[in-house]
Amino acid sequence: MVTGEIGKLMIRFGLCCLFVNEPVRFRTTTASYLKKLSRKSRLGKLSSICLENSKNLQRALISAKRMGIGAFRISSDLFPVYTHPETGYHLDDFPDAEHIRKTLREAGTFAVENNIRLSFHPDQFIIISSPRNEVVANSVRDLIYHFMLADLTGAEIINIHLGGRYGSKVDSIERFRRNFEKLPSAVRARITLENDDISYTPSDLHGLCMELGIPLVYDVHHHRCNPDGLSIEAATSMCLDTWRKGKEPYFHISSPRDGWNSGNKKSHADYIDPGDFPTHWLKLRRNFTLDVEAKAKELAVQRLMKDLRV
DNA sequence: GCATGTCAAGTTGTG
DNA sequence: CACAACTTGACATGC
């Protein structure tokens, strides 16, 4: 059983990228270090990091299964600095390329067999709505990198934000719409959009998502930081609209580290305050996945599952 | 061996 | 105008 069961409702709890108490350690490196190495030793080092990270993904899923965690967000750094302009590389450049592919496919099979959903959440540099062509081009490249990993592991979701405002949200949404078409259709099929904590609310994104067929990931913490006048109930149902039947919606939750009355509501706390979980969600008639964004990682997921079963 | 400084990228908001 | 915050630890380096 990978889902929390509350009455008839099934909530699938998700962990983001890392564990604090499990023997799962993802390695990384930096472009400035790689630049000092010859091409051969550079590729050797990267190959061994990527292979180890792929094995760690398997370990991560085994741990998730044991804990009843039903979704896992894979770190964008699984293959470090893959799209860097100077030290970027391709999987086929590696001595261990086939071994890495096999390891990632096995992780994907394990996820399917154990009903664990996989996703990616590329970071803040991926901006499809930027007025700067170079930023858009880099973002497209990075999304294609994410797609490669998603294809190997079977991850169904690549979740991004709309981007900056650049003085006009309406114009920026229009640019997103145009630039989105530049993505290969296989990549587009995995993209979701999430409301953010400073600019784009569920109301801002709903029309675009409906038109382009992009599922809207509802982050209730961001909605509280960056409200649009909609109640949580209304925003939830607006986001659910964008997920076609049979596709399980994603929600995100977190609690503010310094409390709701502080100047800084955005930083994430170690754990989720159960009071921040919208009671309305317990009455939904649809199953959903809830990614828990909390610093205590799997401990926070386990605590929230326990708190909600009371 | 341990402490420390560094790390590719964009954008916004604060001081 | 400069810098921190999103996230975020892990690594190489230097003592």
Q: With bands split at pLDDT 50, 70 and 90, how would you rate the model's confidence at A1?
A: very low
Of all residues in chain A, the percent with pLDDT exceeding 90 is: 78
Residues 172-201, chain A, CB closer than 7 Å to nucleic strand B: 198-199
Structure tokens at A141: 């490249």
Find and give the residue nearest to C8, measured CA to C1'. Answer: A295
Topology, domain A4-21+67-79+118-307: TIM Barrel (3.20.20)
Q: What is the mean pLDDT of residues A276-289?
A: 94
Going through chain A in order, the beta strands assigned E by DSSP cover 4-6, 9-16, 71-74, 117-120, 157-161, 191-194, 216-219, 250-253, 288-292
pLDDT tens figures, A94-133: 999 999 999 999 999 999 999 999 999 998 899 999 999 9
CA of A25 to C1' of C10 (A): 10
A61 close to A116: Cβ distance less than 8 angstroms: yes
Give residue A295's pLDDT: 87
pLDDT tens figures, A140-188: 999 999 999 999 999 999 999 999 999 999 999 999 999 999 899 999 9
pTM here is 0.95
Q: Which of A210, A134, A214 is nearest to A180 (CA)?
A: A214
Nucleotide in closest CA–C1' contact with A31: B8
Round to whole Å and give the CA distance between A18 and A294.
Answer: 10
pLDDT tens figures, A284-304: 999 999 999 998 899 999 999
Q: What is the mean pLDDT of residues A4-14?
A: 77
Please check whether strand B approaches the CB of A81 to within 7 Å: yes
CA distances to A16, A26, A218, A241, A305 from A224, in Å:
20, 32, 11, 20, 22
Round to whole Å and give the CA distance between A2 and A160.
Answer: 25
Round to whole Å and give the CA distance between A206 and A216.
Answer: 7
Q: How many CA atoms lie within 13 A of A248 on its CB side?
A: 20
CA of A110 to C1' of C4 (A): 41
Round to whole Å and give the CA distance between A116 and A302.
Answer: 16
Q: Which of A218, A178, A175 is nearest to A196 (CA)?
A: A218
A85 close to A38: Cβ distance less than 8 angstroms: no
Mean pLDDT of chain A: 92
pLDDT tens figures, A237-250: 999 999 998 899 99
Find and give the residue nearest to C11, measured CA to C1'. Answer: A29
Please check whether strand B approaches the CB of A165 to within 7 Å: yes
pLDDT tens figures, A210-227: 999 999 999 999 999 999
Please check whether strand B approaches the CB of A125 to within 7 Å: yes
CA of A10 to C1' of C13 (A): 50
pLDDT tens figures, A68-99: 999 999 999 999 999 998 888 899 999 999 99
Structure tokens at A153: 């592991």
Instruction: Decide if pLDDT at A310 tops 70.
Output: no
Nucleotides on chain C within 7 angstroms of protein Cβ: 5-13
Round to whole Å and give the CA distance between A36 and A223.
Answer: 44
CA of A79 to C1' of C14 (A): 28
